[in-house]
Amino acid sequence: MNARVSVVKNIKILDTSASTIVHIGDAVKVKPRAKVIEVEREVPSFIEKDANFSDYAAFTIPIPQPTIQEDVQMTVKNKSSWIKVNQVNIRDISVSSVFQVGSNKSIDTESRYKHIRQVSHNKTPETNR
């Protein structure tokens, strides 16, 4: 990896969420992880130990990793050793995402998310407004 210098005059990020990485500089490996269970109720209430990750297969099954079969060869010729950017505007960086100014050899992200909606089944169409 050829060394290059990254220069960003201004970075504006409005929001980040769980397991987000904002990294200024170089890195070798970045590996953000997030496990989220969101429970949405018609009538809000907090119940301690509401749900366990082990209750849902989505949090325990292995994620298949792709295998690269092709022999890829690449030649890069950078005309300058500088990367210059005036401004970066970001509205939101979501779960297990990476924003980086710099170089990186490897990024491996994982996000597992379970959204549960609990609504009353006693409503009729006329009253469900």
Q: What residue ranges do the domains of the chain occupy?
A: 5-63+83-118
Q: What is the pLDDT of residue 114?
A: 87
User: 63-80 burial by CB neighbour count: b if 16+ within 10 A, else e?
Assistant: eeeeeeeeeeeeeeeeee
pLDDT digit string, tens, across residues 72-118: 888 988 888 899 999 999 999 988 899 999 888 999 999 998 888 88
Strand partners, 115: 38
Q: What is the mean pLDDT of residues 51-74?
A: 87
pLDDT digits (tens, 9 = 90+) for 7-41: 999 999 999 988 899 999 889 999 999 888 888 88
Q: Give the pLDDT band of residue 43 (cuts 50, 70, 90).
A: confident
